[in-house]
Amino acid sequence: MEMNMFILPDFLQIQIESFRRFLHNCIFEELSKFPIIYDSNQGIEFKLIPEKYLLTEPLFTEREAVYKFTTYSSDLYVPIQLTLTKEKKSRIQTVCLGSLPLMTPQGTFVINGVSWTIVNQILRNPGIYYVLNRNGMYTATILCLDVDKRLRLEIDKKGRLSVRINNRHKIPLVFLLIALGLDINDIPDWLQSRTKKLEDLLSGLKNEGERTLELIALYKQLPGPKKVKPKANPLIISEQIQQWCAQVYKLGTSGRLNLNRRLNLNFSKSNDSLLPQDLIAAAELLVKMSLLHPGPKGGKDSSDDIDHLKNKHVISVAEMLRKQLSLCLIDLQIQVRRAIRRGISSKRILSPRSMMISRPLTQMFNQFFGSHELIQFLDQTNPLAEMAHKRKLSLLGPGGLTRRTASFRTRDIHPSHYGRICTIETSEGMNAGVIPSLSICARVDSEGVIENPLHKIGGNIKEQYTVYVRAGRDERLKIGTNNCLAIGQKGQERSTSTQYQQEFVSMSWDQINLRSILPIQYFAIGASLIPFLEHNDATRTLMGSSMQRQAVPLVKPEKSIVGTGIEAHISLDSGTVLISLKDGKIKYVDGKQIVLVDKDNVQQKFNLITYERSNNGTCIHQRPTVKIGFSVRKGQLLADGSATVGGELALGKNVLVAYMPWEGYNFEDAVLISDRLVNEDIYTSIHIQRYEISVQENIEGFDIITREIPHVDKYLLRHLDYRGIIKIGAWVEPGDVLVGKLAPLEAPHLLRSPEGKLLQAIFGVQAITTRESCLKLPAGGTGRVIDVRWIEQQGPSGVSSLHVYILQKRKIQVGDKVAGRHGNKGVVSRILPREDMPYMQDGTPIDMVLSPLGVPSRMNVGQLFECLLGLAGSYLNNHYRIMPFDERFEREASRKLVFSELYKARKFTGYPWLFEPNSPGKSSLFDGRTGEIFEQSITVGKAYMMKLIHMVDEKIHARSSGPYALVTQQPLRGRSNKGGQRVGEMEVWAFEGFGAAYMLQEILTIKSDHVKGRSQVRGAIVAKESIPKPIDPPDCFRLLIRELRCLGIEIKHTIISEKNFFLDQKPI
Amino acid sequence: MEKKTGLIQFLSEWKCVDDQPDHNRRLHYSRFALSPLLVDQAMTIGVAIRRALLSEVEGISIISANIVGAVHEYSTLDGVRESVDEILLNLKQIVIKGAKGASITPLDHKEYRASIFAQGPGVVTAEHIKFPSSILAVDPDQSIATLLNETQLCIELFIRQGIAKQLTRTKKNHQGFFIDANFTPVQKANFSIHSVGDPKGLQQLLLLEIWTNKTLTPAEALYQAHASLLNLFHQISPPLLHKELSPSKNILNQNSDSNSLGGSSFGRVVSLETRRDSTQTNNSSIPKEIQPSVRLKSYTDTNLSIDKQMNDSVNKENLSIDELELSPRISNCLKKANINTIADLLNYTQEDLLKIKNFGRKSVEQVSLVLRKRFNMELLPTK
């Protein structure tokens, strides 16, 4: 576990390594566990030959799978030996167990044409944990392999021991031990004496009948569904309990090790289930601990830290798939046993292939990939998002926490997280802390423990090397944190802050054995892309890292002037760029493919992705970076993906920003931009939308796709070809028909229709009428049709569907969200012509005006350093890659660097205003409208700003009338179904407060659920009459009445005449 | 090029101080000086010229292209390195200028056609575009596409003149693929004001820096900016003061700021600062002031926010009589007589008003006084 030089690990390692392990080890291991099935009656032996399992090569590549909307998978074949022992004949046949989805080189799975990723789960290790509970008493929780099943040993104030099963049933410990088969004499006396109502229990146990009953009760309390019913025999039931416990309370190897270590036992690893001896030892320790430290105040807390990473492990792809495989093989066992039995009865000759009717694997994995909580739709907004998603960890999921129950402590960062789990990058809101990310240098070993690389310091340089340290192991080590490098500080004390036993202490360099490798080692990839990160508040850095994942790839991407230097690593590992697989020479390059010839004259073709849709609707497009005749080395960049330039991540654009108020247009984080950003396609992005229609067969017949659609405006059909499908390259607008489809009309419906009746009366034939069910472009879908695909679904359903891909080019507009990398986000409030923008002293108009009030309270000062250094870089034609925490070199290093670069720029360009000693980093701006100097000097710089995926085009919405909910008759909710805006309780108060009674009535009746009223209103508007007032109650009142009627309360509206007491009843 | 600014006794003149035509392949830099100017005139001219340079100078650009073999913008051509969209983006960047001798007059919205026929291998650059004789590419090395082997590339180009403000965003009515062109030949403009001459500081020097993309020389751009400004001012110049508009003379004096740039005889009464201040106050106080619609109409083009005022004056008659700020007694009387708006009031004669209950001669006088004062209207004494 040592290396001489440290190289940043492959960021996809966590996914790909794990899957490799699954393919190479786990499949074999699981298949070897398959027992030899022997039927003695017939003398049939069924045996897998696991050494010779085969995986077929996938039928098509992962890109073809995406294109064809199928699953990227390979079939698993296992040879099976069937021996007829009587006849001494044996037969080997290779049988397909089903198809297994494969991981693509990008670390994703393609299921039905869609990329999915498996998020790694963090679970607690099996073992025993002593924890102080709220009452100040110690409890010992025993976690098992199956995380749902847990036992808790408790001790009460009188020192009596009991066991809680599944957080619910509490029984005396002695009773459980007896039930597990221990004789009462084997149980030590101290344990017996610590039992509540021992006499009763013992006397009860002596009575056989009572004992049986108790045992049955206990058996029922044990977790899990039991197939075997408890027998009313004390011996058998006791055995059943033992069996069940051994099955349920499985500790696994690591759990056994943990128990051995904690309780000073030494059972062998093979004893992987819970033993009564464990319980006794655990109880002993528990008693000792509670005697030593009664109550929380007593001395040092010797309880275990459940949030410590050493007590947790990562469940990665391999473990998840392995579990499915083992479940599937259990199914197979049952299937084979049944088949053998059936085979015997039917007297047929058995062959291994005939015994397997279904393909268990296919079904199981389909179900797994369709329903598992941690298999997530891959976030493909940009390469960073993709990568970050694959490196996410989750505390949620089966056996894990739930969002609501997760406590603050588990969400919080822990000293053991340093260098392993990112301390800042997590999602905001509900999932805060429960979905963290893996730090950049960390790796997960085969046991699921997260390791952190550290640099070993020795006196001799040759003795220095990198070690990977597991969580928990580093606590006894003294780890220098690189906070302060003792450069040029000879006379002074060479001390630095050091990580030691979960604390940061100051220590001199001589005492330190290890040091961290990178200052950004503690952060995940998103956060480590932020320059001058150390000057930012953690919350804003968190936002910055999560917003980078939302940046839209732009038409003309641009590298950041100021970066941290890991941009290239991220884009190279993300798999969105094309990389040469071997040395060679470029023979051919065009927009579609690159041909490489290696030294053996073997051609290798690389197909480029052109304008494909990503999961998030952004565009994936590769641009070649090599030219014909170039010699390339293995691993060299051949083509850039979307949002990369020269192999470096390029999520945004360097734009000239100024921090100043401008006529209130940057109030509340709004952002004012110049029309240059619109006209010169600076923030133009490409979005591809997919529209689907399926062609089905029902009782009446097939759907027809045709060009001849009756009663539809010819203009809307103008782009259809002779088949009735839109032509590729057509410019379509909302309402246009994309696919002309006629669905057959139901027969009974036909008969009732007047024309049907007429036709039948005259000709005696039934009219075959069809209903128009075209695919029309919804509002906001204007764009260019770039592809139409027929997708034939496999299987008996015979449903095929048509997919139409429409590309939109979106320029930046008012309402779009833009953000920098420091959590400085805003919405475009206005687009000014460039002559109106404030301009610098050389006449350059500002591109973007940000609010100065967005800095102080948010404490993200890094944006100022970035923008000033960017300004210097733009004049000096320099790009800077600055590792954060440059303050470790000297005090105020960032400031010094920025100012010196600005000074250089000033000297280089001869513009004195670039660096004014009186107001460094600020200069005077002129108002473009008046030519006047603004009163104060203003911070101007080049900041790297991104356009985020939250764009108005996808959010803007208005409704005049539209669909209504069936039950309440109120307008539907949400933009997707053209819904209305709810006027809620508080909004009603506002109307009441202003006394706008008529408006309120209008809103609550005719604009909402007054069915009659709203149709009258339409008539009135058309006829230009005055709007009628609703008389009867709206529908929600009727709903109320009906619901009351369901409860048996009748409400009637009755008027009693004053004169003759005549009752005038009205139905409601 | 010369500019006569109104009332200045001495002639000021643009002088080209610095000219760097080869600053860059696509950048032409020049510096002009204008002097001598009176104090604050430099600002007036500088701001106006800079804004005109940036927004009103005409450019010439490729507006659409027809690429043979391409189904749509987002396809790739065999043997061409760039995708069609990338070619279009490259074409958008191509800078075009008028050929020497050929006159491209401003506002001449002729459509030109050009074409590219190229065969690989090689890089297609602006040099390969076959332009009509009157225009040519500024930088022949601007690359368009890279062709491989014997690939042929045929592109038909449609070129037009235009200014930044009239960006044609409609994708219809275009042959081929639409390129939303930028008609902004002036890249950057800057001005600075320097005091010159005697220590009393009465004279100013205006330095104007212009960077163009070589579609025009900075001098031509300056000329165009001038022309468009002059044209603008010419269009909006207020009509000469005729007798029938005599009441407006009064108003003109009050608000002389709004047309001081127009170079009328009231021109240089107000200094630049007060002008700005007064526009602001003017805007806020406008509803209360009467502006005859005839005069206002001529102002609507000046981009001052006068549309609103005009609407106000049109609606003036619909104003409530409360706006007259009469004494409560009088306004109550009027309201009782169902006179709610000024229009209602104007239907009445003085004699009619006297017939209203509790409405005496004094009240009538008050009403007519207010009407005259605030709205310049009279009540007829009798029918």
Measured distance CA(B371)–CA(A832) in Å, rounded: 43
Task: Looking at A793-888, list the stretches that DSSP marks H as alpha helix, in order from N- to C-terminal side.
Answer: 862-876
Task: Give the mean model confidence (pLDDT) for residues A75-81.
Answer: 89
Measured distance CA(A771)–CA(A657) in Å, rounded: 57
Residue A589 lies in a domain: no
B183 to chain A, closest Cα gap in Å: 10
Residues 17-46 of B with CB under 8 A from A: 43, 46
| B127 and B169 share one domain | yes
In this model, does residue A335 exceed pLDDT 70? Answer: yes
Q: What's residue A483's pLDDT?
A: 64
Q: Kindly identify which residue of chain B lies nearest to residue A727, measuring between CA atoms.
A: B71
| B190 and B113 share one domain | no
Query: Which CATH number covers residue A716?
Result: 2.40.50.150
A622 to chain B, closest Cα gap in Å: 10
Q: What's residue A346's pLDDT?
A: 64
Measured distance CA(A1011)–CA(A970) in Å, rounded: 9
pLDDT, one tens digit per residue, over A847-875 is 999 999 999 999 999 999 999 999 999 99
| A848 and A920 share one domain | yes
| B51 and B192 share one domain | yes
Cβ contact A681–B86 (<8 Å) = no
**From residue A659, how far is each of A539, A669, A853, A931, B249 by CA, in Å?**
21, 11, 9, 18, 46
Residues 6+ apart with CB under 8 A from A209: none
Cβ contact A728–B71 (<8 Å) = yes
Q: Among B46, B148, B182, whose Cβ lies nearest the Cβ of A590?
A: B148
Of residues A212 and A942, more confidently modeled: A942
In this model, does residue B283 exceed pLDDT 50? Answer: no
| A156 and A211 share one domain | yes
Question: B215: pLDDT confidence band, cut at 50, 70 and 90?
Answer: confident
Residue B193 lies in a domain: yes
Residue A557 lies in a domain: no
| A450 and A515 share one domain | yes
The single-letter DSSP state of residue A944 is E
Q: What's residue B98's pLDDT?
A: 80
| B118 and B189 share one domain | no
| A826 and A806 share one domain | no
Structural domain tally of chain A? 6
Q: What's residue B306's pLDDT?
A: 39
Most confident of A176-190, A688-702, B126-140, B295-309: B126-140
| B38 and B114 share one domain | no
Give the 3-state secondary structure of A972-984: CECCCCCCECCCC
Most confident of A180-189, A222-231, A674-683, B190-199: A674-683
Structural domain tally of chain B? 3
Give the 3-state secondary structure of A452-473: EEEEECCCCHHHCEEEEEECCH
Q: What's residue A206's pLDDT?
A: 67
Q: What's residue B200's pLDDT?
A: 64
Task: Give the mean model confidence (pLDDT) for residues A239-259.
Answer: 80
End residue of a domain, out of B193, B216, B231: B231
Task: Looking at A973-1034, list the stretches that DSSP marks H as alpha helix, in order from N- to C-terminal side.
Answer: 985-994, 997-1004, 1011-1022
| B145 and B114 share one domain | yes
Q: Among B55, B171, B191, whose Cβ lies nearest the Cβ of A833?
A: B55
| B50 and B65 share one domain | no
Distance of CA A318 to the CA centre of its chain: 18
B49 to chain A, closest Cα gap in Å: 11
Query: Which CATH number covers residue A906?
Result: 2.40.270.10
Q: What's residue A762's pLDDT?
A: 76
Residue B352 lies in a domain: yes
* CB contact at 8 A, A775 and A811: no
Share of chain A above pLDDT 90, in %: 36
Residue A697 lies in a domain: yes
Q: Kindly identify which residue of chain B lies nearest to residue A782, measuring between CA atoms.
A: B171
* CB contact at 8 A, A684 and A811: yes
Residues 6+ apart with CB under 8 A from B8: B37, B38, B41
| B65 and B123 share one domain | yes
End residue of a domain, out of B231, B247, B267: B231
Residue B285 lies in a domain: no
Query: Which CATH number covers residue B117?
Result: 2.170.120.12
> What is the token pair recorded at A272?
């992987």
Q: Among B75, B81, B92, whose Cβ lies nearest the Cβ of A590?
A: B81
pLDDT, one tens digit per residue, over A199-217 is 777 776 666 666 677 777 7
| A159 and A288 share one domain | yes
Q: What's residue A231's pLDDT?
A: 65
Q: Kindly identify which residue of chain B lies nearest to residue A834, measuring between CA atoms.
A: B54
Strands A648-649 and A644-645 turn out to be antiparallel
Amino acid at residue number B2: E
Query: Which CATH number covers residue B190?
Result: 3.30.1360.10
| B27 and B169 share one domain | no
Task: Give the mean model confidence (pLDDT) for residues B80-90.
Answer: 91
pLDDT, one tens digit per residue, over A807-842 is 999 999 999 999 999 999 999 999 999 999 999 998
* CB contact at 8 A, A826 and A948: no
Say which residue the tokens 């734009």 belong to. A655
Sort A360 into a burial class: Cβ within 10 Å, 0-12 / 13-18 / 19+. Answer: buried
* CB contact at 8 A, A596 and A360: no
Check if A662 contacts B (Cβ < 8 Å): no
Residue B255 lies in a domain: no
Of residues A1030 and A966, more confidently modeled: A966
Residue B105 lies in a domain: yes
| A290 and A345 share one domain | no
Sort A149 into a burial class: Cβ within 10 Å, 0-12 / 13-18 / 19+. Answer: buried
Check if A621 contacts B (Cβ < 8 Å): yes
Q: What's residue B288's pLDDT?
A: 40
ipTM here = 0.84
Q: What's residue A98's pLDDT?
A: 87
Question: B258: pLDDT confidence band, cut at 50, 70 and 90?
Answer: very low
| B166 and B145 share one domain | yes
Sign (positive or negative) of CA dihedral A629, A633, A639, A640: negative
**Least confidently predicted of A72-76, A750-754, A961-965, B124-128:** A750-754
Task: Give the mean model confidence (pLDDT) for residues A925-952.
Answer: 93
Residue A1029 lies in a domain: yes
Cβ contact B180–A679 (<8 Å) = yes
Q: What is the mean pLDDT of chain B?
A: 73
Task: Give the mean model confidence (pLDDT) for residues A229-249.
Answer: 73
- Residues of A with Cβ-Cβ distance to B80 under 8 angstroms: 590-591
| A454 and A419 share one domain | yes
Choosing among B18, B31, B43, B72, which should be mutated to test the A contact, i.e. which has the most A CBs within 10 A?
B72
Other beta carbons within 10 Å of B29: 18
Question: A438: pLDDT confidence band, cut at 50, 70 and 90?
Answer: very high
Query: Which CATH number covers residue A1026?
Result: 3.90.1800.10
pLDDT, one tens digit per residue, over A310-331 is 889 999 999 999 999 988 888 8
Concatenating the DSSP letter of every residue in A156-217 gives -TT--EEEEETTTEEEEHHHHHHHTT--TTTS-HHHHHTSTTHHHHHHHHHSHHHHHHHHHH
Measured distance CA(B383)–CA(A234) in Å, rounded: 122
Check if B4 contacts A (Cβ < 8 Å): no
Q: Kindly identify which residue of chain A lies nearest to residue B209, measuring between CA atoms.
A: A843
Q: What's residue A798's pLDDT?
A: 66
Q: Among A784, A843, A845, whose Cβ lies nearest the Cβ of B74?
A: A784
Instruction: Count CA atoms closer than 13 A to A985's CA, side-chain side.
Output: 0
Q: Kindly identify which residue of chain A lies nearest to residue B147, measuring between CA atoms.
A: A590
Query: Which CATH number covers residue A274?
Result: 3.90.1110.10
**Least confidently predicted of A208-222, A477-491, B252-266:** B252-266
Query: Which CATH number covers residue B355?
Result: 1.10.150.20
| B69 and B85 share one domain | yes
How many Cβ contacts (< 8 angstroms) between chains A and B?
95
Check if A728 contacts B (Cβ < 8 Å): yes
Residue B277 lies in a domain: no
Phi-psi region of A738 (alpha: psi -120 to 50; beta: other; left: phi over 0): alpha
Q: Hey, is B275 helix, strand or coil?
A: helix
Q: Among A611, A681, A931, whose Cβ lies nearest the Cβ of B89?
A: A681
Residue A66 lies in a domain: yes
Question: A519: pLDDT confidence band, cut at 50, 70 and 90?
Answer: confident
Give the 3-state secondary structure of A357-408: CCCHHHHHHHHHHHHCCCEEECCCCCHHHHHHHHCEEECCCCCCCCCCCCCH
Task: Give the mean model confidence (pLDDT) for residues B108-127.
Answer: 85
| Angle at alpha carbon of residue A1062, lines to A1058 and A1063, rounded to 5° | 110
Residue A562 lies in a domain: no
End residue of a domain, out of B145, B178, B211: B178
| B115 and B205 share one domain | no
Measured distance CA(A605)–CA(B334) in Å, rounded: 92
Q: What is the mean pLDDT of chain A?
A: 85
Of A157, A142, A147, the closest CA to residue A274 belongs to A142
Domain span at residue B355?
317-375
pLDDT, one tens digit per residue, over A8-53 is 888 998 999 999 999 999 999 999 988 888 877 777 888 888 888 8
Other beta carbons within 10 Å of A181: 14
Q: Kindly identify which residue of chain A lies nearest to residue B123, measuring between CA atoms.
A: A627
In this model, does residue A659 exceed pLDDT 50? Answer: yes
Check if A786 contacts B (Cβ < 8 Å): yes
In this model, does residue A260 exceed pLDDT 80? Answer: yes
> What is the token pair recorded at B70?
């391409």
Domain span at residue A983?
969-1058
Instruction: Count CA atoms closer than 13 A to A864's CA, side-chain side.
Output: 22
Q: What's residue B277's pLDDT?
A: 39
Measured distance CA(B236)–CA(B44) in Å, rounded: 18
- Residues of B with Cβ-Cβ distance to A807 under 8 angstroms: 74
Residue A1016 lies in a domain: yes
Query: Which CATH number covers residue A96?
Result: 3.90.1100.10
| A735 and A853 share one domain | no
Q: What's residue A827's pLDDT?
A: 95
